[in-house]
Structure 1
Amino acid sequence: MPASASAAPSPDSRSAPDRTPASGPSSSGPTGALALAVDVGGTKVEAALVDSEARLVPGSRHRAPTGASSSSDEIADAVGRVIDETLTTLPPGSPLVGAGVGSAGPISAEHGTVSPLNLAAWRGFPLAGLVASRAGLDRAVLRLDGLCILLAEHWVGALQGCRTAMGMVVSTGVGGGLLVEGRLVGGRTGNAGHIGQLQILTRPDDSTGLDLDLTLENVASGPHIVAWARRQGFAGSTGEELAAAGRAGDPIARAAIRRSARAVGEGIASACALVDLEAVAIGGGFSKVSDDYVDLVQAAVDDVAPLSTIRGVRVVRSALSDEAPLIGAAGLIHRADLLP
C-alpha cells in the first residue's frame, strides 16, 4: 500500500511477521551479536534488533508515532518507548554490540544531533545521546536516513555489487544516500545525498532567498502530490485514495502520479550528471502508489538526461521494502567498514 498524505503504512510491530530480504540472508534464527536499529522519521519512529546477516529478530520490531505537531518531549518519549520495548526482546546470551540510528535530516554526524525538516520541535536535538543512554551504551552511531537505506540495499538488497549508486525513499519526504566508488558518502556534515532538497523548478527572475516549494521533496512527496491533485479537483485526501483512483483510471490521480515520478526522474538525472550512477533503488510508501511508478521514473530519467551516458542508469524498486531503514541503521554497526 502507498503512503497516506502524512505517513507510509507500516505493519503493527506486535503482529506483523518479520521478512527476510529476497536477495539477502537465510531464514534461520539470529546469528551472534545484535545491533539495536532505530529509524526516526516525520510520522513514526521504529526500532528493532538486527543480526550480522541483516535479519530482524522476530518480535523485536516496535513503532510509535511522531508527527509534525508533536512536542520535543513527545517525540523523545516515543523514541524511548520503542527502544525499551525492543530491548525486552533481546535473546539471552546475545550480546548487544551497538546502536545505529537513521534520522530524517538535516543531521550533524559530528555532534549526534538532528533537525528534521518534518519535525519542527526538534532543532539540534541530541538524538544519538538519547538512544545511547536509553540503550545503556557509551555511544550510538547517527547517520542520515537516506544513507541508511542505501547501506541496506548495498549490503543485502537491490544494489549489491554496485560501486556507485544511490538509494532513495519517496514517502512523507524524499531522501537519499550516495555510494561512490565503493564507499558511502557522508560529506562535511553528514548530509550528503539529501536529494529531496534539490531545486528542480526554475524560479522567477526577480525572486530571492530560499523557496522550499521549488524542491524535489515539495513536488514529489506523498503529502505534496496529494495536495497538488486536490488543487486539480481530486476529491480524496490520502495517498491510499490517490492510488485507488489511479488504478481506476482517474485522470487527475494518474497525472499526479506521473508528476511525482517525473520530478523524481529529474532529480536522479541531475545526480547522475554529478556522480555517474550505475543504479538507483527507490523505496518508501509513496513509491508504491502505482505498479508502474518506478517505470515512470526510469522513463523520466531517460527523457530529461542532459548527457547521453545517463540513460544507462538502472532505476529499480527496493528489494527490502519497509525493512530497509532498520537494516541500514543496523548496518552502521555491522558494516562499519563502509562508513565514511
Structure 2
Amino acid sequence: MSADSATVLGIDIGGTKMAAALVAADGTILTEDRILTPPGNADQVFDALAELVGRVVGGTTPIAVGIGSAGPLDLTHGLVSPVNITGWRNFPLVDRVRALVGDVPVELGVDGHCFALGESWTGAGRAVDTLLGIVVSTGVGAGIVVDGKPLLGQSGNAAHLGHMVVDLDGEACACGSYGCVETYASGPRMVARAQRRGWRAGERVDAAVLSADAAAGDEIALAVFDDGAQALAAGIVATAVTVDLTTVVIGGGVAKAGPVLFDPVSRWVKRLAQLPFVTELTVEPAQLANAGLLGAARLAWATT
C-alpha cells in the first residue's frame, strides 16, 4: 500500500454510541459508520463493535488503529472499565480489536482525550497550543491537548473533569463519589433533576426535549440547565487555573442545546475565573461532528 493510500482505523466508544471510520493522513474520513451502544455482557457489547468494524474496514487493511473509549482505562494492559458501559470491567479491548484487524499497532486513549485531540487537529482548537475539550452527553468527558499531544497523566486518565467534585453535599455519582460535575451536567441527570421538580413528570423524554423547552422559556428547564452550566464552569475554571489554559471547546449531544447551555456556561465562567491569567478564558462550541473519531485516528497516525 502506498503512503498516499494508507489509512488508519479510528474507533470511538461511549455509553450512547460506538463509531468507527477509516481516516487518511490529512484527517479525511473515507468510510464511517456508527451504532447505538448495546446493553449486555462483555461479549455482547464487543460483538456489536466487531460487526461495526467489519462493515467499515471491508477488504481494507488499516496500518494502525486508534481507539477512544470511555474510561477509566488501563493503558499499560489495554484494559477498559467504562463507567457508562457496565458490561466491560477490565475488558481487554486492545487485544480483542487487534485480533479483529490483524497484527498492527493499536493505540488506546480516553474518549475525552480523543475529542480534544480531534478538535485540536482539524477543528476549533487548531489555532491554539493548549486546549481543554469537553464532551457533554450521557456522561461528561474531557481531555487536554498541549502542543498537539494529549495530556495523559501518570495512568493515562488525566482530565476526568466529569468526575471532579464541585458540590460536597451533592448527589451520588456512578463513579462512586458524589457531587461530581457529571451529576449536574450530563443529559440523563439533568432530565431526572427536572422531572423531580415537576417538568414533564412521568413522560419518557431526553435532554433534547429538555433543551427545547428551555429555549422556549420553561422555568424548570432553564433552572436545570443553569445548574449544569454552573457545575461545568466550576470544572472548567478549576482545570484552567491548574493547567494554565484559555481555550475551551464543548461538544456532545447536550452541547446541541446551543445558547441554552453556552450562555450560562460563559456567564458562570466569567464569574468564577478571577485570577488574572484566566480572565480571558473562552468557551466555544465544537466544530466537528466526529471529533472523537478523528482524535482516535490521530492517535493511530502517531504510531506510524
Give the match's secondary structure for 1:32.
coil
Distance 1:311 1:247 in 2: 28
How far 1:299 moved relative to its partner? 1.5
1:135 aligns with 2:101: yes
* 1:40 Cα deviation after fit: 0.9
Separation in structure 1 between the aligned mates of residue 84 and residue 56 of structure 2, nearest angstrom = 25
In 2, the alpha carbon distance for the partners of 1:280 and 1:183 equals 16
Q: Which moved more, 1:42-51 or 1:30-39?
A: 30-39
State how 1:310-321 maps to structure 2 within 5 Å.
Answer: 310-321=278-289
CA distance in 1, matches of 2:148, 2:64: 24
| Structure-1 separation of matches of 2:27 and 2:149 | 19
Residue 54 of structure 2 is matched in structure 1 by 84
1:264-287 alpha-carbon deviations (Å, 9 max, x no partner): 111101101101112011100011
Name the residue aligned to 2:85: 119
Aligned residue pair count = 296
TM-score (norm. length: structure 2): 0.91
- 2:276 is equivalent to residue 308 of structure 1: yes
Give the CA deviation at 1:118.
0.7
In structure 2, the residue matched to 1:213 is 178
Q: Is the 8 A contact 1:66 1:74 kept in 2?
A: no
Shift of residue 290, structure 1, vs aligned partner:
3.5
Three-state SS of the structure 2 residue aligned to 1:253 is helix
Instruction: Give 3-state SS (helix, strand or coil) of 2:76's partner.
Output: coil
1:330 counterpart = 2:300: no
Selected match of 1:193 from 159, 173, 184:
159
Q: 5+ unaligned residues in a row in structure 2: which ranges?
A: none
Are 2:226 and 2:264, in contact at CA under 8 Å, matched by a contact in 1?
yes
Q: Which of 74, 90, 93 is matched with 2:44 structurally?
A: 74
Q: What is the rounded CA distance, in whole Å, between the counterparts of 1:270 and 1:193 in structure 2?
A: 11
Aligned residue for 2:15, secondary structure, equals: coil
Alpha-carbon distance, 1:187 to partner: 1.2
- Give the alignment's TM-score, normalised by structure 1: 0.82
Cα distance in 2 for partners of 1:105, 1:331 equals 19
Moved over 4 A (4+): none
1:100 and 1:333 in contact (8 A); partners too? yes
| Whole-Å separation in 2 of the counterparts to 1:192 and 1:89 | 36
| CA deviation string 1:288-338 (max 9, x = no partner) | 1243422321221111125233221111111112x111111100022459x
Partner of 1:63 in structure 2? 34
Query: Hey, what does 2:8 align to over in structure 1?
Result: 35
Question: How far did residue 258 of structure 1 move?
Answer: 1.6
Deviations 1:188-229 (A, max 9, x none): 11101111110000239xx9xx85331011111000011010
What's 1:249 paired with?
217
Query: Residue type matched to 2:25 in 1?
Result: S
Kindly tell me: are residues 313 and 335 of structure 1, through their superposed partners in 2, closer, same or farther at Cα, counting changes over 3 Å? farther
SS at 2:293 equivalent:
helix
**Matched residues in 2 for 1:63 and 1:184: separation?**
24
* CA shift in 2, pair 1:287/1:117, >3 Å: same
Q: 2:65 aligns with which of 91, 99, 104?
A: 99
Aligned residue in 2 for 1:7: none
- Call closer, same or farther: CA 1:336–1:296 in 2, change over 3 Å: farther
Superposed CA RMSD in Å reads: 2.1
CA distance in 2, matches of 1:275, 1:113: 27
| Separation in structure 2 between the aligned mates of residue 88 and residue 115 of structure 1, nearest angstrom | 28
3-state SS of the aligned residue for 1:213? coil
Does residue 232 in structure 1 map to residue 197 in structure 2?
yes
In the TM superposition, residue 138 of structure 1 has moved relative to its aligned partner by 3.4
Task: Output the CA distance in 1 between the equivalents of 2:182 and 2:244.
Answer: 22
Checking the alignment, whether the CA contact within 8 Å between 2:105 and 2:303 is kept in structure 1 is: no
State which of 146, 165, 169 in structure 2 corresponds to 1:203.
169
Q: Distance in 2 between matches of 1:183 and 1:329?
A: 12
Query: Which has the larger displacement, 275-284 or 81-90?
Result: 81-90
Cα distance in 2, alignment partners of residues 195 and 119 from structure 1: 18
Instruction: Judge conservation of contact 1:169–1:283 (CA < 8 Å) in 2.
Output: yes
> Quick check: 1:149 aligned with 2:120?
no
Secondary structure (helix, strand or coil) at the match of 1:168 reads: strand
Letter in structure 2 aligned against 1:233 = G
Identical residues among aligned pairs (%)? 36
Please say if residues 174 and 216 of structure 1, whose CA atoms lie closer than 8 Å, have aligned partners that are also in contact: yes
Distance 1:193 1:33 in 2: 32
